[in-house]
Amino acid sequence: MALIEHAAGQPGLGRPTPVSAKLIDWSRFLRRPLYHVPAGDADAVFRKKTLLITGAGGSIGSVLANRFLGGPAETLLLLDHSLPNLSELQRRFELRHVNQPAVEFLHTDILNESGMSELFGKYRPNIVFHAAALKHLPELESDPFAALETNVLGTLRLLKMAEVSGVECFVNVSSDKAVNPTSVLGVSKRIAELILATEPAAPRRVSLRLGNVLGSSGSFVPLFMRHLEEGRSPCITDPRASRYFVSPDEAAAFLMQSIAALAGPLLLPEMGGPQRIIELANFLLEESYGSAAGLSPRFTGLRDGEKLCEELTYDYEILEDSSVPQIRKIGGNSIFDAGQFAGKLTRLIDLVLRRHKSGLVRTLCSMVPEFVPSPTFLSYVH
């Protein structure tokens, strides 16, 4: 969710008291208690297991990795293609001086097929948390092949490796942008959901459909705070724009509990009602200044691919209870013709690998009929 653009500084807005997003009590903005994993619940699930986290240096992956430090897992495999992110994660871990579990920092790309195959063969992970993805929505409208290659092909290859290497559970980080998608990011996430839903065979497969993670890299919160620290007032795309939000710790807790939910292949955590972006801006100003009175934003309009309001489910989806009260199972996603879906997926992968624009929109719309391509995306492929 990048809903900010640069704007000139505003009179009356001095430099704020620096506030780290990590120190903010997000329960006050969300107006609900934050979700935490009940004490002891994770011990039995992860005891003596080898856990692989892809995208471990990112916003969700790093918080999730931190939650396992000092826990009952035997080995923690932290994988990221960004060396700076991975190095920073390693530096923070070393400051913790925790000896359990054993930690391996793995610098590779999920698209590196030989490297990933060697990793699975060497470490034989029991549980995979797949958080690696390209997620910057506006930019991906003009770079759809990169998004589809990482988010679709990368997920597919990981899942195939998990199938042959004895992985017990594969947890995929999905997004509410997968519902009635209007962006390449959204349609790539929806196809990844459908891939995990096609076959009931081992390993167990789960996609967790999350809203916006507060404070994640490239999102509204860090950009807003940076602009304030620089003495500038940010611009907001639309005063009516709203999103569903979770805190970083909640995202990690929901991912951990998605295994205990004993349901799948698609899950939805309890995130409360949607919140308007302008409300988040006011909250951050109050955190920094003690008041939101100085905010006079310039509204710039939604960018291509962005929605005014996100949705959590399709009309045909049904919410059912799981064994974890705060996580619901999303039913109604059965693919009746798995062979036909597999054929379309093969066609899509071929187009992506060859960077062939002709037929790309038609193939995506055949796989996700609800997908509405943006003018930027249509301009790119034509």
**Strand 318-321, strand 327-331: pairing:** antiparallel
Coil, helix or strand at residue 277: helix
| Cα atoms found within 13 Å of the Cα of residue 151, Cβ hemisphere only | 28
Amino acid at 57: G
Closest C-alpha among 15, 2, 12, 20 to residue 248: 20
Q: Could you list the active site residues?
A: 177
* Measured distance between the N- and C-terminal CA atoms of the chain, rounded to whole angstroms: 26
Q: Is 114 left (phi over 0), alpha (psi -120 to 50) or beta?
A: alpha
Q: Give residue for tokens 């709203």.
A: 242
Coil, helix or strand at residue 351: helix
Q: How far apart are CA 143 and CA 377, in angstroms?
A: 8
Contacts of 193 (CB under 8 A, 6+ apart): 172, 174, 178, 207, 209, 265, 266, 333
Q: How far apart are CA 225 and CA 237, in angstroms?
A: 17
| Cα atoms found within 13 Å of the Cα of residue 298, Cβ hemisphere only | 11
Tokens standing for 346?
């093969």
Amino acid at 118: E
